[in-house]
Amino acid sequence: MTHSFGKPLTRNEDPRLLRGEALFVDDVELPGLLHVAFLRSPHAHARLLSVDLGAARARPGVIAAYAAEDLGDYWKPGPLLVPPPPVPGMVFHQCCQVPLVKDKARHVGEPVAMVVAESRYIAEDALGDIAVEWEVLDAVGDLEAALQPGAALVHEHLGVNVAAKVHQHRGDYAAAAKAAALVVRRRFTYDRGASIPMETRGVVAQWDPRADRLTVWDTTQAPVVIRNGLAAMLGLSERQVRVVAPNIGGGFGPKMMMFYPEEVLVPWAAMRLGRPVKWIEDRLEHFFATTHERSQIHDAEIALDASGRILGVKDVFLHDNGAYDPYGLTLPLNSQCTLLGCYVVPAYDSVFTAVFTNRTLVTPYRGAGRQHGVFVMERLLDIAARQLGIDRNEIRRRNFIPPDAFPYDQGVIYQDFSRLSYDSGNYAPILAKALDAIGYDRFIAETQPRARAEGRALGIGVVCYVEGTGIGPYEGAKVQVQGSGKVSLATGIGSQGQGHATAFAQVVAEQLGVDIRDIEVTTGDTDQFYWGVGTFASRGAVVAGSAAHEAAKVVRQKILKTAARHFECAEEDLVIADGKVHVVGVPDHSITLGALAGLANPMRGAVTPGTEPGLEATSYFGPAGGATASGAHAMIVEVDPLTLRPTILDYVVVHDCGTVINPLILAGQIQGGVAQGIGNAFFEQLHWDEQGQLMNASLADYLLPTALDVPRIRMDHTVTPSPLNPLGVKGAGEAGAIPVGALFAQALEDALDLPSKEIEILEMPLSPSRLWEISNGG
């Protein structure tokens, strides 16, 4: 057997990506390709009175122009929606957009009209020909104001701007607060950011009238879901639709909205016009039309005994949902659940209100609501530790769920609609390693005092978190030995940079004894693998990886069975290594896997009942519950006293995602996550004016961290395998991003010695100017 599992192998996908030979959606060129531009609402909230497409349609090179009335009534999103979670007493109003504004626009950038032309240039020019009459309405933006009587209504028929209200609780918080030695109560805010992937969204669609089939190339994270949804909306059978999610330049969550208007309009136009149609989102569109995340306001309190043990937590929060909520309540549910963190919280009372606003929709973005929960809990612990005079690390240690308490039932309903239960974990060693690696004691004892004496503002932060990963319902994988001796793996989920072509190959290689360079992985093509859900919630390795493992095990058995028949020996006498099956103890007796594949599909003879041709297997894996990863981030930061610009001097991540398939890919995931976390903590914030206009919708104004701002991350790992899947793996995709806000707040407070001034950092994101305001009591 070729032992590649667990090794830091370079990625199979990289040579092609580095040579520019990988397919991205915009690479798709087809004969007769048409191009689309969208006229988008300039208003955050406005009634649409009329759209005149006459002049646009008359422009040379324009093939068609459509407004809502041209679409008919084909928008049937029913089966695609994420349903409400099974929480007793909850309120949930699901309001979905129509692809083109029909009655009124509810956020700036909502598509109003679609022009299809011979080139994008012509299509863009034709947008200027379209005359639209609007009646501008007051825009809803502020979450608290939105809930006041008399506020403008995003969806009039509801009578309120409440999208959902969900109350979850366990234990008796009131009693806990009464019994507490200390109750800390604060308001925390976390403002909007955007995911800003390298590649914006894009869709190309082609209708083949002779095959009655639609092919759609889409930058989606969930090609199977898009396939199913397109079929439902366009009146097709699922098998008539092929969705290809090729290489994608970053997903991060917003690329699995269900549905973006453009995702159905472009295929619809391709079918209607009988010509292929392309739309690639430009960067300006991306700021308005691709979903955002983050805006929440938490009124939270924690009750503790004198020793710092948590007695209970109460949290009431508002969640900014944006204008529509097709995606359901994943985000606020994640915030609600993840707040519990690594800690024993005997009483928990949490209620959130999701609010409709005249803003771009909010759906999961790397971390997916977990940031908020971690930020609130870690900040509460920091403040409580100070007030109780306990070391901030010690208060965490005292409240950790003990390692013998797993599986640990948190008693609340999670985003996967089952009760949140942590599968396994051991948090104290993680914190200890992080403190050790960052040199906590020495920093506190020597480095910081010395720096302060020199007038330098150095601070340290250490925070802990859990990440719910690897949720169901399922993924599948097909493993197949090729006549060439190579092994193929196909799965329904696509890749947006997660290294599936390598990690899954390692999983398969473990069973089949082939070099991972000889394992060809196909992802994100619904014709190559029909079923699946998507790449999100750090679930690829856990769910699809386990399916690949199961399929490879079946193929392994078929290989041994076929070889035993060929050599007329017992399966126990065979060993698979280096792409061959060898008879133990008979040096010249071996056969390549490719030759065996040929024997398994003979041209004569019969495939007898219960057997199948070829050396292949398709397996599905659905975990009984999510796998809970955990970790600690530690950082030493220096703040320029004049500019308040922080410089990260050291950054340590200690992480437990169970069994590690490929440490190199894991390191990349964490490094990237921390980079985005730093952006979210200190650089990236969407600013809106009173009218709901986005003020910084460009990369000149919306600041992203550059390579100069992101330090080299030092990493260490602990391993508590998940008992919920055969590989023992847990997801790692979001771990880098989740605790960075909490970490920045703690470290910057420390660097600027804010606690001594009774100043606390209770908001995210920060910036030099905002930090200046805060540290000056603003």
Sign of CA dihedral 687, 691, 692, 698: negative
**Cβ 414 to its own copies shortest distance, Å:** 10
**Cβ 242 to its own copies shortest distance, Å:** 9
Which residue intervals of 454-544 are DSSP H helices?
500-512
**Cβ 643 to its own copies shortest distance, Å:** 46
**Cβ 574 to its own copies shortest distance, Å:** 22
d(CA 286, CA 12): 30
Distance set, CA 316 to CA 148, 178, 299, 425 (Å): 17, 18, 5, 28
**Cβ 607 to its own copies shortest distance, Å:** 3
Residues that bind its own copies (CB under 8 A): 21-23, 27, 29-31, 79-80, 82-83, 208-211, 225, 228, 231-232, 235-240, 246, 416-417, 472-474, 476, 480, 482-484, 486, 488, 490, 520, 522, 527-528, 530-531, 533, 598, 601-609, 611-614, 620-624
Unique residue bearing structure tokens 């955990």: 630
**Cβ 605 to its own copies shortest distance, Å:** 5
d(CA 447, CA 463): 20
- Kindly tell me which of 96 and 152 has the beta carbon lying closer to its own copies: 96
**Cβ 451 to its own copies shortest distance, Å:** 51
Q: How many residues does the chain have?
A: 778
Classify the phi-psi angles of 750: left when phi > 0, otherwise alpha if psi is within -120 to 50, otherwise beta: alpha
**Strand positions, DSSP E, 426-557:** 457-469, 475-481, 487-491, 519-523
β-pairing, 91-92 vs 62-67, is unpaired
Q: With 0-12 CB in 10 A as exposed, 13-18 as middle and 19+ as buried, what is 96?
A: middle
Q: Max Cα separation, the chain? A: 87
**Cβ 292 to its own copies shortest distance, Å:** 22
Cα 19 to chain centroid distance, Å, stands at 27
- Kindly tell me which of 341 and 579 has the beta carbon lying closer to its own copies: 579
- Kindly tell me which of 280 and 644 has the beta carbon lying closer to its own copies: 280
**Cβ 475 to its own copies shortest distance, Å:** 9
Cβ 357 vs Cβ 323: under 8 Å: yes
Cα 333 to chain centroid distance, Å, stands at 14
d(CA 540, CA 500): 8
- Kindly tell me which of 23 and 570 has the beta carbon lying closer to its own copies: 23
- Kindly tell me which of 185 and 239 has the beta carbon lying closer to its own copies: 239
Cβ 364 vs Cβ 536: under 8 Å: yes
- Kindly tell me which of 142 and 520 has the beta carbon lying closer to its own copies: 520
- Kindly tell me which of 58 and 211 has the beta carbon lying closer to its own copies: 211
- Kindly tell me which of 103 and 612 has the beta carbon lying closer to its own copies: 612
Q: How many other C-beta atoms lie within 10 A of the C-beta of residue 115?
A: 28
Short-list 323, 357, 348, 265, CA closest to 64: 265
Short-list 108, 196, 157, 223, CA closest to 529: 223
β-pairing, 763-764 vs 182-190, is parallel
- Kindly tell me which of 254 and 308 has the beta carbon lying closer to its own copies: 254
**Strand positions, DSSP E, 640-709:** 646-656
Cβ 742 vs Cβ 378: under 8 Å: yes
Cβ 51 vs Cβ 57: under 8 Å: no
**Cβ 234 to its own copies shortest distance, Å:** 10
Give the three-class secondary structure for 132: strand
**Cβ 531 to its own copies shortest distance, Å:** 5
- Kindly tell me which of 198 and 603 has the beta carbon lying closer to its own copies: 603
- Kindly tell me which of 337 and 754 has the beta carbon lying closer to its own copies: 337
Q: How many other C-beta atoms lie within 10 A of the C-beta of residue 762?
A: 18
- Kindly tell me which of 213 and 456 has the beta carbon lying closer to its own copies: 213
Which residue intervals of 188-296 are DSSP H helices?
223-234, 261-273, 283-289
**Cβ 104 to its own copies shortest distance, Å:** 29
DSSP state for residue 39 in the 8-state scheme: E
- Kindly tell me which of 490 and 675 has the beta carbon lying closer to its own copies: 490
**Cβ 201 to its own copies shortest distance, Å:** 19
What are the tokens at 672?
A: 């990237």
